[in-house]
Amino acid sequence: MDTRPARSPEEDALLRTATRRLPGGVLGGYYAPTDLQFVVKEARGARFRDVSGREYIDYLLGSGPMVLGHAHPAVIDAVERQIGRGTTYFQLSEPAIALAEEICRAVPCADQLRFTSTGSEATFFALRLARAFRGRDKILKFEGGFHGTHDYSLMSVGPKAPKAFPAPTPDSAGIPHAIEEHVLVAPFNDLAETEAIIDTHHDSLAGVIMEPFQRLIVPDQKFLRGVREITKRHGVPLIFDEVVTGFRFAYGGAQEFYGVVPDLAAFGKIIGGGFPLAAVVGREEIMRHLAPEQARTGGQVQQAGTLNGNPIACAAGLATLAELRKPGTYERLFRTGNRIKSALQETARAAGFAAQVAGEAPVFEIYFTDQPISDYRATLTADMALHAAFTRALLERGIVKAAQKIYVSLAHGEEEIEQTVQVFTAAFAAMIDHRSRRPQGGH
């Protein structure tokens, strides 16, 4: 049980207002059990405090962008210097041009770049670009892959009863049925099935979109290279969704980390340094469809946004990337992540749980199953009730994580690591008690 102080009257009042004014009382992303819900007051480094004064170790990290930790001095300084010069222009600015140049210098597939404000927009416009380039309508995505919240993305992200490939399953109410006709779905890490689908449908495909590291599933290297070869053979653009992996796995993203280069990629999270910013990057022959002169031929892809390339976000992004370029930075991030990841696996095993810790050092998660996590359908074998109880046990002891991710930052130091391992041990002890009191049967 949570032995920390109870919520204060002030925080209770804020949560009542949130419930009254915000659907579900949330912002739409992070969900905590009602009795454990909180309101953040401030954040520094790898920790934050709520309005009641309770402290948490943060492995949510704003859903990923805070790779340096919260309120990093270099980022704060860059933002303060920029904010006195104006907050937004809807025009070119020095920070926007400098950040575009740095991202294109870093990312293997990036000849050119167009800023957006969110990762969902970045993947949406990457698909529109692919359609304009190919003159085709259909896209292929992978079951379990998440590419934001637009209609084309929310297909077969988390189907409870998956259909036979390549049929998609809508994940949200309000998606037009017509969208289903334009989306094909393939199994991640299954090259033979993917190749068969692409070979059959290549003439109608505008593009193939994938997370090279799908949610928490590490790709088979033959699979990634194979998808690249198949799409190249048919002239179908390959799109990497690097909103999570960009500048997290390596300075050049997952395409540098895994050594496979797509035609287009979507970036977000880290490149904005904690501010709303994302981007589509790619080969010039595809990106040129965004140029105004393409309007003369009818080939221009329309894309605009009031805050695209916002100078404050770009200044924060530049400061973040400058920190990531420092020698030894990624080695330190991976070293920290591997220690926490290994501790999670070891404490689960010591407590007697069948569990798999899936992912890479900078972002991973535990699945309560004895099956290897190689694709989306393998995740369905996991005991979600145990997982929910584990996540709750962490939160009760002052550790916040995403529902299905543990993000690691450069701000997580020895004190946070030691405290986290202690909480893992205590949480699994609580899980043993939870398991002993559960009714038998099923997941």
Distance CA 143, CA 168 (A): 8
317 residue type, one letter:
G
pLDDT at 435 over 70: no
Q: Which residue has the tokens 């990290």?
A: 61
Average pLDDT over all residues of the chain: 94
C-alpha distances out from residue 234 to 59, 223, 254, 299, 396, Å? 41, 17, 23, 22, 52
The three-class DSSP label of residue 30 is coil
pTM of the model: 0.94
pLDDT, tens only, 157-178: 999 888 999 999 999 999 999 9
pLDDT at 441 over 90: no
- Which pLDDT score, from 0 to 100, does residue 440 have? 54
In the chain, the domains with their CATH numbers are 9-70+330-437 (3.90.1150.10), 73-324 (3.40.640.10)
Distance in Å from the first CA to the final CA of the chain = 23
In this prediction, residues 186-215 reach a mean pLDDT of 97
* pLDDT band at residue 228 using 50, 70 and 90 as cut-offs: very high
pLDDT at 42 over 80: yes
* pLDDT band at residue 3 using 50, 70 and 90 as cut-offs: low
In this prediction, residues 244-272 reach a mean pLDDT of 98
Percent of the chain beyond pLDDT 70? Answer: 97
- Which pLDDT score, from 0 to 100, does residue 293 have? 85
Identify whether 108 is preceded by a cis peptide bond (ω within 30 of 0).
no
pLDDT, tens only, 327-385: 999 999 999 999 999 999 999 999 999 999 999 999 999 999 999 999 999 999 999 99
- Which pLDDT score, from 0 to 100, does residue 419 have? 97
- Which pLDDT score, from 0 to 100, does residue 319 have? 98
Distance CA 244, CA 239 (A): 14
In this prediction, residues 409-435 reach a mean pLDDT of 93
Pairing of strands 138-142, 205-210: parallel
pLDDT, tens only, 14-30: 999 999 999 988 888 77
pLDDT, tens only, 103-159: 999 999 999 999 999 999 999 999 999 999 999 999 999 999 999 999 999 999 999
pLDDT at 310 over 80: yes
Alpha carbon 56 to chain centroid, angstroms: 21
Structure tokens at 187: 């199994």
**428 with 351: CB under 8 angstroms?**
yes
- Which pLDDT score, from 0 to 100, does residue 443 have? 45
**305 with 114: CB under 8 angstroms?**
no
- Which pLDDT score, from 0 to 100, does residue 120 have? 96
Distance CA 27, CA 35 (A): 17
DSSP of 120-166, one letter per residue?
A: HHHHHHHHHHHHHHHT--EEEEETT----SSTTTSBSSS-SSPPSTT
pLDDT at 442 over 50: no
Kindly report the number of other CB atoms within 10 A of residue 269's CB atom.
Answer: 26
